[in-house]
Structure 1
Amino acid sequence: MRAGRHTVEVHRPDKVLFPAGEGGTEEYTKGDLVDYHRAVAPFMLPHLRGRPLMLERHPDGVDGPRFMQKNTPEHYPEWIDRVEVGKEGGTVCHTVCDDSATLVYLADQAALTLHRWLSRTGRLDRPDRMVFDLDPAQDDFEAVRAAARLLAGLLDELKLPSAPMTTGSRGLHVVVPLDGRQDFDDVREFARAVADVLAAAHPDR
């Protein structure tokens, strides 16, 4: 199929990735995922462009085995952007999703979750987002919502804009945009200080 400036071949579009569930939930195929990604590309790409990705792939659907893919395989088309990142003892060549064709290609690879970096390719060591990851100790989403509201209140006091984002699991992310001047160590230290202040203010929660 045509996606932007490129043609992407979709293999086995009828392959079920999300089986029908109890209670009448529908099944969804790889073709459905491709169609969905094409539809949401204008809204999704601004959150992905220029960011290295770690891909969570489910070749046999959500009920089958999964694996995390950091390195971009050599067989990926040359028009897919990549960035080489240093690691201990070598490098990793991460995929970067900058256009709708790459989004469709990753759907064809059954990459169901696209974990994006908090920094961009031009300044890998300078995050432009800070994320507070809130997960319930037990299956209690109301506790997560309450924590998100308290955190948002503290961030408002600090004059830092923030927005909640669902995680696809049981929790919430509270995302704070940054100007990219601090490195990861500074941002992590600040985030920990905010969390400590919040926890100290509400020791019973």
Structure 2
Amino acid sequence: MSGEVLVDVQGQRIRLSNLDKVLYPDAGFTKGDVIDYYSRVAPAITPHLAGRPVTFRRFPDGVAKPGFFDKNASRHAPDWIKTAAVRTPGSTTGAESLDFALLDDLPSLVWAANLAGLELHVPQWLVGPRGGRGNPDRLVFDLDPGAPATIVECCPVALALREALTEDGLTPVVKTSGSKGMQVYAAVTTSTAERTSNYAKALAERLEEAMPDLVVSRMAKDLRRGKVFIDWSQNSPNKTTVAPYSLRARPLPTASTPVTWAEVAACESVDDLTFTADDVLDRLDDLGDLFAALVEPGPRLPQ
């Protein structure tokens, strides 16, 4: 089916195109497969996207060709797509604000998938009542292994973060990045935009001091070989991280997948924590949304 087809998705008419186009050549995974995946994962992913401006990483020619980041939805969105005008200081476009899409429902998600928006990235805050940025409601630690380290080396770091966060009264959850590393999250309540970054930086530095052979909290790449960089800066209101259940632009259609702490503790190889789109759908049937706790209000961060 290489032409176009008009479909009705919960009352919204969407023109889908190039459904047979292969976007993941190594797996023969087509644009139609991408749309099908996002349609089926919608009940799990939309609560984690709702109210958050989405930055797309689009690959209209497939993952073997360069993709691009797309933030301004107003250029191509139908009028029923919810958008939020968000200030973008320092934007390369020179615009003071851009209209970001809010993917709160199934039709919006299908529309995004039809644009070959393979990766969906969101900030750790919700859009406020008048379109402004809310204070952070999520804390994130992005664990990035420096070669030859892999996600296997990320696991003891994630477990150490879990212990520290739990001691501080938080309920951490963990997911693979769908690429090389993993991310630890916790729902929080904050009163300033800088609160989560300051807390995350202090904890990352504490773990670097306690685990110097494995952990680095500084961004310099020459410090990261064979270690796990705890990227606390992802808590900046200007940054985004890949959403849970989002596909990644890798040779295979892997996804950023919530996992259990038991799986983290038992990990012995990269394959243990590598999940494709089909794996994610099977896991949702068996385990439900392991990130469900993240959509509930979290406690205040300790001083």
TM-score by length of 2: 0.63
- What is the deviation of 1:37? 1.1
Decide which of 191, 199, 202 is 2:200's aligned counterpart. 191
Distance in 2, Cα, partners of 1:178 & 1:146: 23
Residue type of the alignment partner of 1:173: Q
Instruction: Please state whether the residue corresponding to 1:175 is helix, strand or coil.
Output: strand
Instruction: Please state whether the residue corresponding to 1:10 is helix, strand or coil.
Output: strand
1:71 maps to 2:77: no
Q: Is the 8 A contact 1:57 1:111 kept in 2?
A: yes
Decide which of 138, 159, 173 is 1:163's aligned counterpart. 173
- How many positions carry a matched residue from both structures? 199
**Worse-matched range after superposition: 83-92 or 184-193:** 83-92
Counterpart position of 2:184: 174
- What is the deviation of 1:74? 2.6
Q: Is the 8 A contact 1:131 1:173 kept in 2?
A: yes
TM-aligned CA distance change 1:14 to 1:196, over 3 Å? same
Distance in 2, Cα, partners of 1:159 & 1:11: 48
- What is the deviation of 1:200? 1.3
Q: Is the 8 A contact 1:58 1:112 kept in 2?
A: yes
Residue type of the alignment partner of 2:181: G
Counterpart position of 1:140: 150
Q: Provide, for residues 89-118 of structure 1, a one-character-per-residue CA deviation record: whole Å limited to 9, x for no partner.
A: 611111110110110011110000000121
5+ residue gaps, structure 1, are none
Distance in 2, Cα, partners of 1:60 & 1:184: 37
Distance in 2, Cα, partners of 1:137 & 1:71: 33
Counterpart position of 1:97: 103
Instruction: Please state whether the residue corresponding to 1:83 is helix, strand or coil.
Output: strand
Distance in 2, Cα, partners of 1:81 & 1:129: 22
Counterpart position of 1:33: 34
TM-score by length of 1: 0.92
Q: Is the 8 A contact 2:150 2:181 kept in 1?
A: no
Q: Is the 8 A contact 2:74 2:100 kept in 1?
A: no
Distance in 2, Cα, partners of 1:184 & 1:143: 31
- What is the deviation of 1:137? 1.2
Counterpart position of 2:43: 42
5+ residue gaps, structure 2, are 1-6, 90-94, 215-303
Q: Is the 8 A contact 1:50 1:96 kept in 2?
A: yes
Counterpart position of 2:281: none
Distance in 1, Cα, partners of 2:62 & 2:74: 20
Q: Is the 8 A contact 1:125 1:183 kept in 2?
A: no
Distance in 2, Cα, partners of 1:186 & 1:125: 13
Distance in 2, Cα, partners of 1:127 & 1:37: 26
Instruction: Please state whether the residue corresponding to 2:97 is helix, strand or coil.
Output: strand
Instruction: Please state whether the residue corresponding to 1:184 is helix, strand or coil.
Output: coil
CA RMSD of aligned residues (A): 1.3
- Same amino acid, percent of matched pairs: 35
**Worse-matched range after superposition: 70-79 or 29-38:** 70-79
Q: Is the 8 A contact 1:15 1:29 kept in 2?
A: yes
1:5 maps to 2:14: no
